Chain A
């Protein structure tokens, strides 16, 4: 079985409760965020006949590790510390084995593996598998006040929400086959979009 996330860009208000709940539950330091909320915005003036109209857009993308089916972090890892659990497809890191080379960090297009300088090795979202074991959802999912997040067997999520998986600024799925379903915001741009910009670069 393969687990994955669902993200509803229509419901997300960018409150970042998911990010903070994860940070609190995992006791993460200031610079480490297993889940991050990206603010993607843009727009311009567009000539329509004799008039000009604005095309301003802005929306949020809450994202953590997508526990990819082709995880590049696992492929490049020299020690085997980064691995995919066979029982649920969750990609996690064995912190007792990791040497802290950061090659996974250089490779992951979702910025999921995060280097903890104090610990001297990588850390990352593990889908809160200890909570899953007792029938709970990951803390980011349960904390979301708008129910914009879900987590579960990816085929169940796809049956319920569809197979759409990429909005800007996410990378094309072809690279790592991420296990995520996204419900796009009406303003959401496709993955190949180049018209927007990151509104909170210093934050993420």
Chain B
């Protein structure tokens, strides 16, 4: 386990970041706005979100021993969190991509019916994103795995969604609007700062809780002896991105696409370190 599970590390971190980025773009569309040209550019830039999500699913299949049977993973939708994750994740990607195509082609020729269809599609995509997010959390709530079965795992996944999502969305905003103002500038930075503090808190609580978990033959501290070193590296990366964003805020230049892209890569690497540790801490209440 651990970093050997790199397909799952890539999949979960990238997929959660795309969910967060989608939420930001939707939020921006509904509440922040911009010129019609900027909104159109943002709609087009969202292709990156859907391609990243599809790529993360492709990477995830590398974890499977029999990837050709991957479709079997949806056989227990409603009863297995794994099946729900694949179903809602696949649905989210398909609906998102469909929405992007509709945005690209336009449904003006349908009149009010077109508007109604776009609104329905957007609502359904949002619901699928929520279900996908929830099923990813539920998948790791396994009662026999004490290192995962706690309140910290859902919070850590939420933090990744907000951190990765904010970084990715800001990059899209930078691509759509040369100088961001208002919500599209302040909100992602604010959320990222809050998520950073939340992440720090969860990590400290997790470090303390690991000392209390023990079976007759296993201790999580033995599974990940360099927990503190890895987490320090992770927070150094996240802090570097946060600091660069605050600098952008102070200089009032707006986030450039280059700085935004570098931020996304660094945040994703930081979160992947955290996720690798998550898998490394897999142990059960018994013999394994």
Contacts and interface: CB of A to CB of B under 8 A. Distances in A.
B287 A106 contact: no
Given A100-B66, A121-B66, A171 B144 contact: yes
Nearest to A190: B216
Given A40-B216, A76-B82, A175-B143, A108 B73 contact: no
20 contacts: A76-B81, A78-B83, A79-B73, A79-B83, A80-B72, A98-B65, A98-B66, A98-B69, A99-B65, A99-B67, A103-B82, A107-B144, A108-B284, A109-B285, A119-B65, A170-B287, A171-B286, A196-B216, A196-B217, A198-B217
Interface stretch (A4-12, A110-118, A144-152): A110-118
B145 interface: yes
A80 B76 contact: yes
Contacts of A40: 216-217
B216 A194 contact: yes
B233 interface: no
Interface string A174-194: 011000000000000101111
Contact of A110 (B80, B217, B287): B287
B142 A63 contact: no
A99 B285 contact: no
Contact of B282 (A36, A75, A97, A106): A106
A108 B288 contact: yes
A107 B81 contact: no
A78 B65 contact: no
Interface of A: 36, 38, 40, 63, 72, 75-81, 97-103, 105-111, 115-117, 119-122, 168-172, 175-176, 189, 191-194, 196-198, 201, 204
A11 B76 CA distance: 43
A94 B228 CA distance: 41
Given A119-B65, A172-B285, A106 B145 contact: yes
Q: Interface residues of B: mostly helix, strand, loop or mixed?
A: loop
A172 B216 CA distance: 11
B70 interface: yes
The 5 closest A-B pairs by CB, nearest first: A100-B65, A109-B286, A171-B286, A169-B216, A120-B65
B41 interface: no
A6 B83 CA distance: 35
Contacts of B72: 78-81, 97-99
Contact of A169 (B64, B142, B143, B217): B217
A4 B284 CA distance: 22
Contact of B287 (A81, A102, A111, A115): A111
Contacts of B285: 109, 171-172, 175
Given A101-B82, A119-B65, A171 B287 contact: yes
Contacts of B83: 78-79
Q: Interface residues of A: mostly helix, strand, loop or mixed?
A: loop
B216 A191 contact: yes
A38 B82 contact: no
Nearest to B83: A78
A171 B215 contact: yes
A115 B75 contact: no
A204 B218 CA distance: 13
B287 A79 contact: no
Contacts of A106: 1, 142, 145, 282, 284
A78 B75 contact: yes
Given A75-B80, A204-B287, 13 more contacts: A36-B287, A79-B75, A79-B76, A99-B70, A106-B1, A109-B288, A111-B288, A169-B286, A169-B287, A170-B287, A171-B144, A175-B144, A196-B216
A107 B72 CA distance: 19
A192 B287 CA distance: 13
B143 A168 contact: no
A175 to B, nearest CB: 5
Nearest to A111: B288
Nearest to A192: B216
A99 B82 CA distance: 12
B150 to A, nearest CB: 15
Contact of A72 (B75, B143, B216, B282): B143
B282 A194 contact: no
A109 B76 contact: no
B216 A168 contact: yes
B134 interface: no
B93 to A, nearest CB: 18
A154 to B, nearest CB: 19
A120 B67 CA distance: 9
Contacts of B193: none
